Structure 1
């Protein structure tokens, strides 16, 4: 567990042993020492109400996503939003999930303009 004095926005934490493993393997902590914003993309996966509303971890990282997206855009980078597709209901999905859950997953990405399909309580998600 992390030291009690460490401030965290959510429950994810990287153990120092993992950093040491990477440093031993490549001679430094991070794979990239710098990023070229024009050649950099932030790919944000499934930040839609279906997933975020019931998950405190997802809600906890929204401010970080906003901050990163705003900074990357300002520096000339790209922000890509990946949303669940509205696929077809199939007998296999109905059997695996049950008809009600299969339909919920099928429509989890919503419909309409992108800005209306993303988590609504984030400031920078729909820009």
Structure 2
């Protein structure tokens, strides 16, 4: 798990700007969805082409969050990345970063595409597929429609990669008027530096940065 570090000067600047660091002191369980981003074998199994070793350490926290959100009456959504048919649609990216082994493992039916076996995925949960780093960008997935139809206004972000798909999804969700909670110890990147750079971006503008225990405590208060 990452050593979480947000510089004191950032905290001070955020407090001076808006009077507090954390944006949300309450979360309505029935209006909340946990979005677990890309915890697929391709990122989690040793030796996979885009392995992120830190993902394996966040699984207990992700499962705890999922349990807490369900108990609070919220939704758990497992988001999977697919690159099927994307080399043409996303040609500007793949022309300079072809990644053939990653492409092969992010095709439906491959081992890499599947969710990791240690995740506590329940029958009542939702599994969605996205085609871009952000789940919310137009044409990537139907997550926005699913959330709005369910009356969701608050999104809790967990998963990987912190500074790629998690950050992209959090930014776009905030811009679409969702309340975003970014869980510092339930997201994973390739390095502490990359992980913490995203946390700085989140706390400054895009999300309420919390730890797993804090999110669970806030959700439990909503049930009282």
Scaled by the length of structure 1, what TM-score is found?
A: 0.70
Structure 1 equivalent of residue 36 of structure 2: 44
Q: Deviations over 1:12-57 (max 9, x none)?
A: 3323333222222111121111111111111111100101222222
Which residue matches 1:15? 7
CA positional deviation for 1:71: 0.5
Q: Give yes or no for the alignment of 1:30 onto 2:28.
A: no
Q: Is the 8 A contact 1:41 1:80 kept in 2?
A: yes
Cα separation, 1, equivalents of 2:4 and 2:40: 20
Q: Which residue of 2 aligns with 1:111?
A: 109
- 1:79-118 deviation line (CA, Å, top 9, x unaligned): 11111124226464775445xx335325426439xxx921
The 2-side partners of 1:56 and 1:121 are apart by 14
In structure 2, relative to structure 1, the CA distance for the partners of 1:79 and 1:67 (3 Å cut) is same
Question: 2:56 & 2:28 partners in 1: Cα distance?
Answer: 29
Structure 1: gaps of 5 or more residues: 1-8
Q: Which moved more, 1:10-19 or 1:52-61?
A: 10-19
Aligned residues: 112
Q: Give yes or no for the alignment of 1:121 onto 2:118.
A: yes
Larger Rg: 1
What secondary structure is seen at the aligned counterpart in 1 of 2:17?
helix
SS at match of 1:56: coil
Q: 1:4 maps to what in 2?
A: none
Cα–Cα, structure 1 residues 56 and 27, in superposed 2: closer, same or farther, change >3 Å? same
Greater mean deviation of Cα atoms: 86-95 or 22-31: 86-95
CA contact (8 A) 1:94 1:102 kept: no
Greater relative contact order: 1 or 2 (C-alpha under 8 angstroms, separation 6 or more)? 2
Is residue 48–residue 109 contact of structure 1 (8 Å, CA) maintained in 2? Answer: no
Structure number having the greater strand percentage = 2
